[in-house]
Chains A and B, each alone.
Chain A
């Protein structure tokens, strides 16, 4: 309950009050008195306004109490404010300390005049005990803001008292007992005789049954009704206009009321008369029924909006909406029977998603007009059309309304492109394992081939008969077979492992054979006479290659010379004069490309360092240029000036082979990434045409060197493709490239198809070497 706690508080607060007042009340009495007066007057006003119904005695006491309480705290607020606002008002208040003192002193001064508000009794121990009256806190008292604790235990859990018969102590130190737990009979009696304000609830704080008074119930009702709990509270009081509603004792102006306040307005009278006259004359009607207005609205206005029409040119950006397509035959209610869908078509139409359907309707035939039902998508279609009209982005599209055939380029007729090889005429069987390389001799009579079995074989090209064969590689495969150019001698070069063999096969007439043997042997002696390059420490440098006789067994067979280099040779390429040939051994670091001079038995390494792995090399057919293909680029070097001329970039990832057109200005490149690229050396370093007609990597490409505008490539997919590639002498005209033939015949073995290809020197025939162990002549 409220009173005891307040008492306790009061006790605490006022304990030192008498002392302080005693000490300092006299010192600055006047000031303190003034303060006290101010606070008292305020308090009394408040009190009088709010608690009119309370008893007078209480009022007096309360006043005193409150003034004491208030003076305790309110001024502290005030002085803070004063500190902030006007530090200069010191003359009113004196010093801060003074003020405080005076506050404290004031109640004491009052108390002195009044009787003490406590009784002195003896407590349990026989000591002096002050007993105070209970304080009824009015609404304004500060304590009402604090949460009302209804028991005296303070802020400890109620459960501490669970084992005791009481809850807390009263101000006099007596136990506040729990109400006795009623017996069943008592409870029954209670339930029969419901006391006023009985709720049936138990106050958890006190453990007593919770009874509510009439006022409290009334407050609850108002809260439930969403009203302000306080009775008689007006949330919307009528505003009191300050200047008009409150009559000032001292008015702002002392001027007497003007005369016009007491005279009727002439102007108003005039205006009123005007209206009166108008009403009398019927010019204005005092009342008009509103229905008339609606009726008069209904009339529509029709006029010719295009009376003075002027044509306006269409705006450039205007795109008129396309018209709806006119109906076709299939939309007829009675279409020709061929337009009616078959069962399968109907099913297909029904099974497709409505959005994917080509037509949103199914042609249906009715044998008479009366059987035609309503079209169920009519509104939907019109709505969609409306949406299209205002929501669909419009764009002008140029429709190519031409015959597609006119787009096709004009190509020469295949008859004009003839001759080119079309059929396989001869099959060369004999190799075991793949045939890795093959070459037709400059006369076109003999075909040399070398393969995995380590043999070099020479065949008669027209018949397919094997004429000569020699096993040069013991365990190495023959990687390259090339004839020396020139008709006066017949020399075959073959590479197996690190060795290059020069062979004069005993197949020709003796004269040619002797010339050939002389040519091969002419170089002996040069190597020994030549000054050998010395290494840094003065020792003789190891020769790059060793030129020697291969041994008597091979010599008997016609293999005359063996050149041993450091790493496996993959490619041999002859200079057109027949004195030089170049070899490539891609795995070698520095000595990958070697140029051999037949007449001097000399081997040179032209490149100290190469960017990338060299793949293949070629001599230019007419000029002293040397082409080296690395994985990605082809570099052309001038052999005389010994400088780099051009870097050709075909754009392929891994070049497999390339060939130079006999004219010298064009180049074809084959790559492992299935591209065949035609380069025009005069045009650009980039390819002029890229052809990708193979399924697998391209192994070899070759131009026809004998006057036919043909070239061919061989691929791992087992096919050769023959192209017609005409180079015109005119610089202005680009080469025409026409694919003409796919030659299929080689079988694909271990993902390898055709390994090498060569053209006949005069006829439009070509030979190919297959991974299936055969060579084929196509004509």
Chain B
């Protein structure tokens, strides 16, 4: 006979332990336990059955997987924590005795990471354990980068020591350098939160968020000790990742860091990369031009050059089509892109198909950043997409290709200020002024393309140079769309024309509703809210409540038909009467458009009603559990649809009012 199983000795009761139990078992303090959990990547679990897992009351407790905790028992860091604790005790004891010398001696042994940014322990082995392969580490890099980029932009406080910030900044800049050299940055997005970047390294998509360069608002409810623990781990991780990335492309890690240039705000320029065998990788040379003025001859030449340069931009579509036509017959190795011909099919995922190499997108241009533009992200993104020569205003810091705005080699200027109308006279003055390095505000250097920063981002995301005239200074910019949204059928897509995604007869309906669109929406909202409440109630009291079904409304349909029939009869009657009396029947009483609309509405209503009845009937025959699942799904789908519909309605309204910005 098999042994009788006792309660609480196997299964879920054994698999999970509460946090208090775990802390007791490890014999560490709660902060130390937290640190361990963060570093070792141990997280609470939700047992499938909470009641079975907990031995005591049903109070909300966090459960850990028992084996995770057992695994922590052998952690070398645990020993370090204990040593540190013992040392702290010794120091406090010495201080209590008034033995300052002894305390000082012991203090030297203690690690004070909050002061020095250095710890006695290393997290190397933890990194190796958590990420057995390099790919694993890359996969987990999202949070790491977001956190480190945030800390690189924080002001130093007692909780966030300056050394930590400096190290974060260095690591981030090194990582950026790798992305620049390897051209692995793919997409970027300017959001209200900050700038999102996406890079693809060894097939792994890494997405991170960098805040705008402002002082971050620090609220009191943020515990920087927890963040610091994360940062400590992430710093180690990114250090190793950077090393591996650098060595993989034949560079020496760490790159040489020029303190002086960094102090002058060179940021990316403060590092110089060295090849570890081949030699120094080519860096853009620092060219310092003397003050120059636009020479008319030279200017003409530049203009010509610019024209040539701009030509491919201006007619890229035509050229590409020609090229495509030529290539059509030739068999190629590349994957063909499958475009849906008819709507309604599923969209299958396909490897991204890029026409242009990201390393060449901006490689032929020289950019100049006006002083109001955010230099760091623009510099990074331009460099990552192949631009070698970026100049900027001297106030933006060191490391520019040129600080001279009038440099003739500049092809594009990034401007982010409203254009100022300048008189012709003042322009002349500027030209006369031989020594003027800086142009008067509002004036432009001929032969140069002035664009707003969004041009760079949109070009990068679409992997082609956008039309610069749409992004000219002062122009109303086309909407900046997130490149990360995957298009799902049925969801609203702002880049597609409206009529492609509308339901049948949606516009007609909208026309009818339009006069009271707002109120309607409000009513809807309240009705929805009521519905939700009702469904909640139902879940509780459904046993008592009767499900009611409406049955088939043949009767009403027939009534409607009757209505129509009577209307037709009346019409005929009137016609006859008119014939008798010899008066021409007024034709204008029935507007064909209005009638069509009414018909459409009637049809839609009828169809909807039928469908609803069908659904109700089917639902009645389901088990309660299945019905609940179905209702949940339908609810969420409806919510999504409603969202998409409101967006479409808004867009329709905007398009009708004619205020819409051009869509790129």
> Contacts A327-B193, A395-B46 given: A386-B230 contact, CB under 8 Å?
yes
Task: Give A331 to B207 CA distance when docked, in angstroms.
Answer: 15
Contact between A327 and B484, CB atoms less than 8 A apart: yes
**Across-interface contacts of B211 in A (CB, < 8 A):** 374-375, 378
Name the contact of B621 in the complex, choosing from A375, A400, A738 (C-beta under 8 A): A738
Residues of chain B within 8 A of A377, CB atoms compared: 217
Known: A326-B484, A378-B193, A404-B633. A303 touches B143 (CB 8 A): no
Contacts of B154 in A (CB 8 A): 379
Contact at B626–A309, with CB atoms within 8 Å?
A: no
- Is B284 part of the contact surface with A, judged by Cβ < 8 Å? no
Residues of B within 8 A of A364 (CB): 192
Question: What separation, in Å, do the CA atoms of A336 and B652 have in the docked complex?
Answer: 12
Bound state CA distance, A539 and B485, in angstroms? 98
B63 at the interface (CB under 8 A from A): yes
Q: How far is the CA of A367 from the CA of B479 in the complex (A)?
A: 9
B189: CB under 8 A from chain A? yes
Give A370-415 interface residues, CB cut-off 8 Å to B.
370, 372-383, 385-387, 389-395, 400, 404, 407-409, 411, 414
Pair B548/A695 contact, Cβ less than 8 Å: yes
Give the contacting residue for A306; candidates B133, B416, B621; CB below 8 A.
Answer: B133
| A302 interface residue per 8 A CB criterion | yes
B460-495 to A contact mask, C-beta < 8 Å, 1/0: 000000000000000011011110110000000010
Answer yes or no: A285 CB below 8 A from chain B CBs: no
Interface flag for B27 (CB, 8 Å): no
Query: How many Å from the CB of B163 to the closest CB on chain A?
Result: 10
Check A739–B554 contact: CB distance below 8 A. Answer: no
Q: Are A374 and B143 in contact (CB under 8 A)?
A: no
- Closest chain B residue to A420, Cβ basis: B552
A133-163: contact bitstring with B at CB < 8 Å (1 yes, 0 no)?
A: 0000000000000000000000000000000
Counting contact residues on chain A (CB < 8 A from B), the size range is 35 or more
Give the complex CA separation of A334 and B247 in angstroms.
40
Q: Does B222 contact A (CB under 8 A)?
A: yes
Q: Which residues of A contact B38 (CB under 8 A)?
A: 389-390
B254 at the interface (CB under 8 A from A): yes
Q: Does A235 contact B (CB under 8 A)?
A: no
Q: Is B318 an interface residue (CB 8 A)?
A: no
A282 proximal to B (CB < 8 A): no
Chain B residues with Cβ under 8 A from A312's Cβ?
A: 132-133
- What residues on B are CB-neighbors of A721 within 8 Å? 551
Chain B residue numbers with a CB within 8 Å of A300 are: 239, 254
Verify A400–B633 contact, CB threshold 8 A.
Answer: yes
Are A334 and B454 closer than 8 Å at their CB atoms? yes
Q: Is the CB of A370 within 8 A of B372?
A: yes
- Bound Cα distance from A693 to B216, whole angstroms: 59
Whether A369 contacts B454 by the Cβ 8 Å rule is yes
* Among A100-108, A337-345, A548-556, A607-615, the stretch in contact with B: A337-345
Contact check, A383 vs B226: say whether CB atoms are below 8 A apart: yes
Encoded as 1 (CB less than 8 Å from any A CB) or 0, chain B from 537 to 565 comes to 00000000111111110110000000000
Task: Select which of B124, B477, B622 is within 8 A of A305 by beta carbon.
Answer: B124
What distance in Å separates the Cβ of B369 from its nearest Cβ neighbour in chain A?
12
Alpha-carbon separation in the docked complex, A374 to B132 (Å):
38
Q: Is B422 on the interface with A (CB-CB < 8 A)?
A: no
| Chain B residues within an 8 Å CB radius of A695 | 546, 548
Q: Who on chain A is nearest to B610 by CB?
A: A414
In the bound complex, what is the Cα–Cα distance between A605 and B143 (angstroms)? 85
Residues of chain B lying within 8 A (CB to CB) of residue A381:
193
Residue from B67, B194, B617 within 8 A of A411 (CB atoms): B617
Residues of B within 8 A of A338 (CB): 494, 647-648, 650-651, 654
A333 near B: Cβ within 8 Å?
Answer: yes
Measured CA separation A387–B217 after assembly (Å): 19
**Is there an interface contact between B142 and A375, defined as CB atoms closer than 8 Å?**
no
Task: Determine if A324 is an interface residue (Cβ-Cβ < 8 Å).
Answer: yes
In the assembled complex, B380 has its CB within 8 A of some CB on chain A: no
Once the chains bind, are B546 and A374 in contact (CB under 8 Å)? no
**Contact present for A390 and B37 (CB under 8 Å):** yes
Q: Are B212 and A382 in contact (CB under 8 A)?
A: no
Question: Per-residue 0/1 for A270-290: is the Cβ within 8 Å of any B Cβ (1 yes, 0 no)?
Answer: 000000000000000000001
B602-630 Cβ-contact flags toward A at 8 Å (1 or 0): 00000000000011011111100010011
**Residue on B nearest A363 in the bound complex, by CB:** B192
Question: Which chain A residues border B619 with CB–CB below 8 Å?
Answer: 408
What chain A residues lie within 8 Å of B249 (beta carbons)?
A: none
Q: Is the CB of A369 within 8 A of B452?
A: yes
In the complex, A337→B214 CA distance in Å? 26
B63–A323 CB distance below 8 A: no
Given contacts A374-B211, A411-B617, A738-B617, whether A309 and B134 have CB atoms under 8 Å apart is yes
* Closest chain B residue to A742, Cβ basis: B551
Q: Is B433 part of the binding interface, using a Cβ–Cβ cutoff of 8 Å?
A: no
Q: Is the CB of B216 within 8 A of A379?
A: yes
Residue of B nearest to A312 (CB): B132
Say whether B172 faces chain A, with CB atoms less than 8 Å apart: no
Q: Tell me how far the C-beta of B326 lies from the nearest C-beta in chain A, rounded to whole angstroms.
A: 36
Distance A334 CA – B190 CA, assembled complex (angstroms)? 8
Q: Which of B124, B547, B629 is within 8 Å of A400, CB to CB? A: B629
Hey, which chain B residues are within 8 Å of A320, CB to CB? 140
B570 contacts the other chain (Cβ, under 8 Å)?
A: no
Distance, CA A741 to CA B619, complexed state (A): 15
Closest chain B residue to A407 by CB distance?
B630
17 A-B pairs, CB-CB below 8 angstroms? Answer: A302-B254, A306-B133, A309-B132, A310-B133, A320-B140, A331-B192, A332-B191, A342-B650, A369-B453, A374-B215, A374-B217, A394-B43, A407-B629, A692-B547, A693-B547, A737-B621, A739-B620
Q: Which chain A residues have a beta carbon within 8 Å of chain B's beta carbons?
A: 290, 293, 297-298, 300, 302-306, 309-312, 317, 319-321, 323-324, 326-329, 331-339, 342, 344, 361, 363-364, 366-370, 372-383, 385-387, 389-395, 400, 404, 407-409, 411, 414, 422-423, 674, 691-695, 721-722, 737-743
Residue positions of B touching A, CB distance < 8 A: 34, 37-38, 42-46, 48, 62-63, 65, 67, 108, 118, 124, 127-128, 131-134, 137, 140, 142-143, 146-147, 150, 154, 189-194, 196, 207, 209, 211-212, 214-219, 221-223, 226-227, 230, 239-240, 243-244, 247, 253-254, 372-374, 416-418, 452-454, 476-477, 479-482, 484-485, 494, 518, 521-522, 545-552, 554-555, 614-615, 617-622, 626, 629-630, 633-634, 637, 647-648, 650-651, 654, 659-661, 663
Known contacts A389-B143, A394-B46; 14 additional CB pairs below 8 A are A293-B108, A310-B132, A337-B650, A344-B522, A369-B453, A373-B212, A379-B218, A390-B42, A391-B43, A674-B546, A692-B545, A739-B617, A741-B551, A742-B551
Closest 9 CB pairs of A and B: A374-B214, A326-B484, A742-B551, A395-B46, A338-B650, A336-B479, A404-B633, A336-B494, A338-B651
